[in-house]
Amino acid sequence: NAIKVGYRLFDGAYDYQNEKEAGEGIQRAIKEGLVKREDIFITTKLWNNYHRKEHAIDMAKKQNEAWGLGYIDLFLIHFPCALKYIEPSKLPYPAWWTDAERSSAETDKVPIRETWESLESLVDEGVAKSIGVSNFQAQSLYDIFTYNRHPLSSLQIEHHPYLVQPELIQLAQENKIAVTAYSSFGPQSFMELPPAFNKRARGAQGLFEVETITALAGKHGVTPAQVLLRWATQRGVAVIPKSNSQDRLRQNLEVNGFDLTAEELESISDLDRGLRFNDPGFYLPDHPLRIFA
């Protein structure tokens, strides 16, 4: 449905556990003549348990095989945090755990440089066309700038009016790093997750109900979702909205038919509360990973 509506970029990750299924769907679309491989852009990500060089390269190749499309367009380090390795055969979906009993979340002593240079070797081998990072902050970007051979081409971050991160975005754009926003709808994106993962989301007003957003939607004759997406794209931030509704998929593509004024953009940015919903610092109360401290 997404391809038929017009979507061409697909955002995946080992953590999502659906790469094989997504790849099979795209392969069917190619076979049916709906698109060509070169029309499709695949982003996927390396999970935290596989940051060591040997694990990163092996896992990336397995992920590429799962997609079954020949190569990955953009391969990202999912989080700037290495967790201890656990064999996929023992725990195929580790989430934030490092043991089969799901009782331990131990970090591993793997520098970002080792992981980044592993990704660079994937570019050398043609497994990935480009590489980047996700959920990184400025300090880690500056670190990569000191040794990268291949361009740091993309930064994917949580970005919505409750978490604007303007200086991080400016740093990326100044260094010709494309910025992609996930969770563009703020708390709405987390409501279906287990209680431990959506505590902050449940305590926040939904952005679709915020007066600033609803008033602008009414003024421009669009949906609140379209206002939120246009706020991002008009400021040079790409978006990857998700929906199970074909109508909403279509609406989410139709965000360039109107422009917000500078004052309207600022009024949305003024909703910033520094409120991060995707934060492993509170996912595991007994083993907090304070990545964003």
Query: What is the spatial order of strands in the sheet that 178-182 belongs to?
Result: 9-11, 41-46, 72-77, 128-134, 152-158, 178-182, 238-239
Taking only the tens of pLDDT, the chain with its 293 residues reads 799 999 999 999 999 999 999 999 999 999 999 999 999 999 999 999 999 999 999 999 999 999 999 999 999 999 999 999 999 989 988 988 888 888 888 999 999 999 999 999 999 999 999 999 999 999 999 999 999 999 999 999 999 999 999 999 999 999 999 999 999 999 998 988 888 788 889 999 999 999 999 999 999 999 999 999 999 999 999 999 987 788 888 888 889 899 999 999 999 999 999 999 999 887 777 778 899 98
The CATH fold of domain 2-283: TIM Barrel (3.20.20)
Q: What is the dihedral of CA 184, 188, 189, 191, to 10 degrees?
A: 170
Q: What pLDDT is recorded for position 148? A: 99
Residues 6 or more apart in contact with residue 230 via CB below 8 angstroms: 222, 255, 256, 258, 259, 260
Tokens 């669009």, residue?
222
Q: Position 77: which residue type?
A: I
- Round to the nearest angstrom and report the end-to-end CA distance of the chain: 40
Burial class of 243 by CB neighbour count within 10 A (0 to 12, 13 to 18, 19+) = middle
pTM over 0.85: yes
d(CA 118, CA 4): 35
Q: What are the distances in angstroms from CA 112 to CA 33, 86, 178?
A: 41, 19, 20
Q: Are 129 and 123 in contact (CB under 8 A)?
A: yes
Give the pair of three-digit tokens for residue 82: 């290495």
Q: What pLDDT is recorded for position 260? A: 99
- 78 in a known ligand binding site: yes
Q: Are 40 and 21 in contact (CB under 8 A)?
A: no
Q: What pLDDT is recorded for position 287? A: 78
180: helix, coil or strand? strand
Q: Are 158 and 277 in contact (CB under 8 A)?
A: yes
Residues 6 or more apart in contact with residue 238 via CB below 8 angstroms: 178, 179, 180, 181, 232
CA 30, 21, 77, 123 dihedral sign is negative
CA 240, 242, 246, 252 dihedral sign is negative
DSSP for residue 163: B
Tokens 């979702």, residue?
225
How many of the other CB atoms lie within 10 Å of CB of 70? 10
Question: Active-site residue numbers?
Answer: 16
